[in-house]
Structure 1
Amino acid sequence: MRHARYKDVENSRLNWRLVSRIWPLLAENRLRIFLAMVCLLLAKSAVIAIPFVLKNLVDTLEAAESLPREPALLLGLVIAYGAARFSNVFFGELRDTIFGRVTERAMRRIGLQVFRHVHNLDLDYHLNRRTGGLARDIERGTTGISFLMRFFVFNIAPTLFEIAMVAGILLFSYGPSFASVVIAAVLLYGAFSFRATEWRTRFVREVNEADSTSNTRAVDSLLNFETVKYFTNEEFEASRYDESLADWEQARRNNRLSLFTLNGGQALIIAVSQTLMIGLAACQTQAGVLTLGDFVLINQFMIQLFMPLGFLGFVYREIKGSMANIENMFELLALKPAIVDAPGAQPLNCGPATVEFRSVSFAYNNNRPILDEVSFTIDLGQKLAIVGASGAGKSTLVKLLFRFYDATAGSILIDNQDIATVTQHSLRSVIGIVPQDTVLFNDSLFENVRYGRPSATDDEVEEAIRLAHLEGLVSQLPEGSATLVGERGLKLSGGEKQRVSIARTILKGAPILVFDEATSSLDSKTEQAILRSLSDIAKEHTSMVIAHRLSTVVDADQILVLQGGRVVEAGTHLSLLDRGQAYASLWHAQQNQPLSAVDDSASP
């Protein structure tokens, strides 16, 4: 299913939007375009000259039967014919070579624009996107733009120019009868091609949609390879994929049949027109009105006219197909992120930071409230822990702090600056996070750590690896830290990936640290070692810890207990145990102790 903000594009008109986006790319390559146009004119001039050379050659040969001619004249005409043929091909290839740089640069610019735009879209879009289908939409869109630029500039306008030239030559040289047939054929061909292509565009859209759906299903299944194996669902996945391929096959069949109808109609119009022209020329040649050379010239003009006309039908058909191909990409570019920088937003001015939540409420929609009047302050250098049952809203606090969503009510401040009034880039640059689910790039372990700060030196990366207790893992890997971790880090265990994430966050060196179940995948021994490292690192930082295992936050300066999106308790570990309420219940449930053992378990 498409993202909810996608609009119905069946009747959309993206042509003008497309021109407005392509024109700046063309304008910055004016010299190349000018040279390409010169080559185009030279190629077209050679094409138009060919029938005249053939006419003179045939008339010369015919006259030679009764009147001897100079061999040099025949040789000159033959050479001129060869030169015209070569010039047409040569200048056409030179035109494509010169203009190729323009299309390649445009594909690069548009591809980069889409890539940046997708990264700027909000989290809600990415939670609903179809990764495989999105990749196909972008690929087809950039290819379609290349096609449009190349053929719109060098095929549509030149072909129309060539048709006008041929019709004019026939009108002034051979009378209105020949020109009338040409004009009628062109108009009928254009009208039929336009209507038929408009009719079959929906089949192109169906093919694209089926292609994106099948690709999405395949990518999704491969990304979840282990889950498929765990539940022995290989045949189930193959069956679902085959269903998508069956839809694609049917869409392709419909598209092919519609193409057959279009091509058949165009071929009929061309065949009838050429038959009429040749028949008319033959009659006038037999009557002596035209020479044999004139007959050859008219026949050659008809061939040269209907070849580009047939190609024009192909180009128009492909342009409509390309329009259908890039509709999704232009829809994507038209999407506006829900979270944007406020007008005049300034970079966050942040040193060693304090964090404050003031009466923050949040709901994903009106029927799903998550947070209700949450308030707390993390002073400079303090460690605040947030605990509670699943679904209490702990991770939502992290998303609001990063401004993946905006609070429904209340405000979040860093060093007394409302995060809604500063730039998102500056906000996120001062926060380091170790998420609960760590996803790594299909690169080396070393480069995955360096991702925390791409400008870091090798020595700084090595130090981060040491602080995250990754040396043991690195020493066991066949290529050390240069070992590739696989797609999404599948070659590493959950604990190993989490340590890479910790090293990455250490390397970032942000003044605010967030740990969202940061040690949930670690064994007890490694967890304690990393907790000691994190404790040392966090001394100079403001830290917020989302925890399920309460034993990891007993040293926190303040612990908040969330229930149903509200803060029901706040205090230190010992003070909360003394109260014997929500936190104490959670503690003893995890320790598997009765509530009466509060005093004995108070010491961490």
Structure 2
Amino acid sequence: MNATMTFCPPNITLNEIWVNHGTSKCFMDTVSTCFISSYLMIFGTIQLWMYKKYSTEINENLLGKSTLYNVQKFALYFLPFLSVVRIILQATVLDDKTIYGYMILSTVLTVVIYPYSVHILRVERYKLLPSVPTRGHGLVLLGFWTLAFVSENLVFINIGRLEWWFHLNSLTDQIEMSLFVLRYVTSLVIFALGLKAPGITDMVQNDYRTINDNANVRPRFRQNRLDDNSSTWKNAWHKIKTLAPFLWPKTDILLQFRVLFCFILLASGRVVNLYVPIYNKKIVDSVAEEPVIFRWDLVLIYVGFKFLQGGGTGGMGLLNNLRSFLWIQIQQYTTREVEVELFRHLHSLSLRWHLGRKTGEVLRIMDRGTDSINNLLNYILFSIVPTIVDIVIAIVFFISTFNKWFGIIVFVTMTLYIAATIGVTEWRTKFQRRMNLADNAQKARSVDSLLNFETVKYYGAESYEVKSYREAILKFQTEEWKSMITLNILNTMQNVIICGGLLAGSLLCLHMVVTNDGLTIGDYVLFASYIIQLYVPLNWFGTYYRAIQKNFVDMENMFELLREEQEIIDAPGAGPLVIKRGGVEFSNVSFGYTPERVVLRNISFVAPPGKTIAFVGPSGAGKSTIMRLLFRFYDVEQGAVIVDGQNVKTVRQDTLRSAIGVVPQDTVLFNNTIKYNIQYGKIEAPEADVIAAAKNADIHERILSFPDAYETMVGERGLRLSGGEKQRVAIARTILKSPTIVLLDEATSALDTQTERTIQAALNRVCANRTTIIIAHRLSTIIHADEILVLKDGEIIERGKHNELISYGAVYHNMWQAQLQNNQNGEVAVENGDIDDDDKKAS
């Protein structure tokens, strides 16, 4: 080492910026390190002061372990370590063996400033300011990491200096190059992890889960979402495993051969992409070099390859068109299997889930989710993977055919482009998620409003609905604008990187052609055509990656639906329900829809085979809940529901429900024909049985009066029929099913007195020799019941036959007298129905 240490190397001063066709390392290291260090020290100190004064500690138990957070800290410590190693090697191994002042300054500042950034990083993770969480790092750290990464890229300005270590002419150059690659990769990792913010994201997610756990509330699927800033690649392996059974057509050998042949065509396209610019070069050289020869064979081969390739992205070539044609049936197979499985899963979910869903939102999620699967496959298999393979082939080809500098230019450009695309796209994923949520809300709002158009009309709320829908659209457009503006930022960044790489490579190639440095005009044409051919699909890489991100976001909602667990499932080894006589028993049953709301309390009763049991009581007493438990829409919390001596939890649900027929109070019909809705009770029933069931329900003549008779469309939810007509269709449907157990939930509540008498006679015939459970407000419909149970607040307070309950002079007697009084006064109670003269005689 020199006895006197100087700040810069000999014959170079700090004021000299451009030296020997490149920047002065003394100037660059001094200015960049001092500027970056000053930035972090000033603004980082201000940020720490704010945290010290206003922040609160976060419970460490809320912070989950994060591997990426540990990688982030390691990288921040690794860079100063490299600086120390660099100065040690400078003093011992490298050719100069001289340490200058700027090296010491740069090393000291690096050793100080990066641990300081780790301290700020820990403060952001373990403390929280009294404001809305940013779900990411603050601007101070993001700016610091960005500046550090930019300073590493400034080195490429010196690529033309002959004495620079890029040429790898000595051991010193190789060591310098190795250290640079390590610094560059580490800075890139720090920058990418800074955008992801694994420590901060982990905190938010765990805090969210803890809040839900403390509230003891199981979130619905619309609330159970990933954090806005989390990567869509999170749980990617789980998503792939979920989709795997639908991707490979394991049951169709011909489709499997199609898949293999499509990949062969894809591989062939990579070879064709390489030979197109090669033959273009040969054609140019054949006319540029003496003797000039008319090489029509080269032109023919070149055009043949172009015919196979098509455009720059292969979008119109024979290979791609043939592959697209063969892939159609594979794509349809995947879509079909996913849609069917999702539809099956939705039907397997419990009544509790379906009562809480929004139909419009679920349909929107199903549509986007299934579409996203095919798009995802196409983008990954036929766009992303081929582009990456083409890049690798190009790097190897340029290094072997030209020299290492062309390979480095292509590699650096591609790496920067892909890193920037992935980093920024990951950052803007939250905007896509928020836009999807707003889109879901908009569609759900419109569907909900249209499904309830009658209610809107009743209350004259058309203007309110339009205003609400406008507000939903405005919210969606606000999120859409944020998503689109960040997309423009990404496109600009990608364009700068691609044009920079194209400029560097073109200048180098043209320089070597002009200086006769081993390259011909054909080589320049080869480079230009190949690089443009390569950059065209690469330019779409950002679009493909963004599309993949969007498809992953769309799939997240669908996966949330698929992850919804079935609340009511068959027990392992459950067998079919063996129907003997159809007896029903409730033994000490207690049940509540929520822990705070107990609906049934210690209910016990027996419905003997062939007998009729009736339940009466005020609304909310638990009458309909008993029917739902018998159908096993819910499982009892205490006690047991028994059918013919078999606990309903131990038999298959399908066999249980096939033995029970129900006529609900609120009948909802399919938007199909009357025949279809009646035949739904027994899908395979012949038309004669359908007509017989309609006659027993006293609706046959009414159906024949319609212009289309049994082919009459009933409209959405059956709204084209009157309430009584819908009820009689439901009765006919149950008659056609011919179940062993019959449940009547206010089955004649929507009928007039005359029709009720007719239907009641039909129901009596249908229920003959069948176990029947009736829920009624109109007491005249149950006076024939073998036992009547009076419910109040989830408990049975009276039981017996009609005459017995009248004689008690208690609750049932008062209900009966109230209905008689209403009838005598000419009043028709909306809830209790009509009482006629026969009812008076019955009393």
TM-score, L = length of structure 1: 0.96
Do the aligned partners of 1:207 and 1:252 also contact (CA within 8 Å) in 2? yes
Matches within 5 A, 1:520-535: 520-535=749-764
In structure 1, distance between residues paired with 2:839 and 2:744: 29
Of residues 602, 608, 611, the one that matches 1:373 is 602
Do the aligned partners of 2:286 and 2:292 also contact (CA within 8 Å) in 1? no
Report what 1:489 is aligned to. Answer: 718
Report what 1:80 is aligned to. Answer: 301
Report what 1:247 is aligned to. Answer: 475
Report what 2:532 is aligned to. Answer: 303
Report what 2:410 is aligned to. Answer: 182
Matches within 5 A, 1:459-498: 459-498=688-727
Do the aligned partners of 2:221 and 2:561 also contact (CA within 8 Å) in 1? no
Q: CA deviation at 1:369?
A: 1.1
Q: CA deviation at 1:3?
A: 2.0
In structure 2, distance between residues paired with 1:127 and 1:213: 18
In structure 1, distance between residues paired with 2:559 and 2:632: 26
Q: 1:444 to 1:2 in 2, by over 3 A?
A: farther
Q: CA deviation at 1:345?
A: 1.2
Report what 1:457 is aligned to. Answer: 686
What secondary structure is seen at the aligned counterpart in 2 of 1:356?
A: strand
Where does structure 1 lack aligned partners over 5 or more consecutive residues? Answer: none
Q: CA deviation at 1:601?
A: 4.0
Percent of pairs with identical residues: 38
Amino acid at match of 2:615: I
What secondary structure is seen at the aligned counterpart in 2 of 1:592?
A: helix
Amino acid at match of 1:18: K
Report what 2:359 is aligned to. Answer: 131
Whether 2:730 is the aligned partner of 1:501: answer yes
Q: Deviations over 1:332-386 (max 9, x none)?
A: 1011021111122111111330000111111112221111111111111111110
Whether 2:226 is the aligned partner of 1:9: answer yes
What secondary structure is seen at the aligned counterpart in 1 of 2:543?
A: helix
Report what 2:109 is aligned to. Answer: none
Report what 1:200 is aligned to. Answer: 428
In structure 2, distance between residues paired with 1:23 and 1:408: 38
Q: CA deviation at 1:2?
A: 7.3
Q: Deviations over 1:69-95 (max 9, x none)?
A: 2x3x2x222222211111120011111
Q: Deviations over 1:501-556 (max 9, x none)?
A: 11111111110000001111111111110000000110121100000100111111
Report what 1:32 is aligned to. Answer: 258
Where does structure 2 lack aligned partners over 5 or more consecutive residues? Answer: 1-217, 310-316, 825-837
Q: Deviations over 1:297-337 (max 9, x none)?
A: 00011111112222222211111110001101101101102
Of residues 21, 41, 54, the one that matches 2:267 is 41
In structure 1, distance between residues paired with 2:775 and 2:350: 23
Q: CA deviation at 1:101?
A: 1.5
Whether 2:373 is the aligned partner of 1:149: answer no
Larger Rg: 2
Do the aligned partners of 2:246 and 2:338 also contact (CA within 8 Å) in 1? no
User: Structure with the greater relative contact order (CA < 8 A, sep ≥ 6): 1 or 2?
Assistant: 1
Q: Deviations over 1:572-603 (max 9, x none)?
A: 111111111111111111111799xxx99462
Q: Deviations over 1:96-134 (max 9, x none)?
A: 111221121111111111111011111111111011011
RMSD of equivalent CA atoms: 1.8
Q: CA deviation at 1:156?
A: 2.1
Q: CA deviation at 1:429?
A: 0.9
Q: Deviations over 1:455-494 (max 9, x none)?
A: 1111111111111111232122121110111111111111
Report what 2:320 is aligned to. Answer: 92
Do the aligned partners of 2:221 and 2:564 also contact (CA within 8 Å) in 1? no
In structure 2, distance between residues paired with 1:593 and 1:221: 37
Amino acid at match of 1:288: N
Q: CA deviation at 1:67?
A: 2.0
Q: 1:346 to 1:600 in 2, by over 3 A?
A: closer
Matches within 5 A, 1:290-369: 290-369=519-598
Amino acid at match of 1:269: I
Whether 2:278 is the aligned partner of 1:52: answer yes
Of residues 658, 664, 675, the one that matches 1:446 is 675
Q: Deviations over 1:21-57 (max 9, x none)?
A: 3333333243211100111122222221110111011
Q: CA deviation at 1:4?
A: 6.1
Do the aligned partners of 2:399 and 2:407 also contact (CA within 8 Å) in 1? yes
Q: 1:594 to 1:504 in 2, by over 3 A?
A: closer
Q: Deviations over 1:156-188 (max 9, x none)?
A: 222211111111110011101111100001111
In structure 2, distance between residues paired with 1:43 and 1:119: 44
Q: CA deviation at 1:287?
A: 1.2
What is the number of equivalent residue pairs in this alignment?
Answer: 596
In structure 2, distance between residues paired with 1:202 and 1:600: 66
What secondary structure is seen at the aligned counterpart in 1 of 2:842?
A: coil
In structure 2, distance between residues paired with 1:587 and 1:535: 22
Report what 2:153 is aligned to. Answer: none
What secondary structure is seen at the aligned counterpart in 2 of 1:345?
A: coil
In structure 1, distance between residues paired with 2:730 and 2:534: 65
Q: Deviations over 1:396-426 (max 9, x none)?
A: 1011111111112111100010001111111
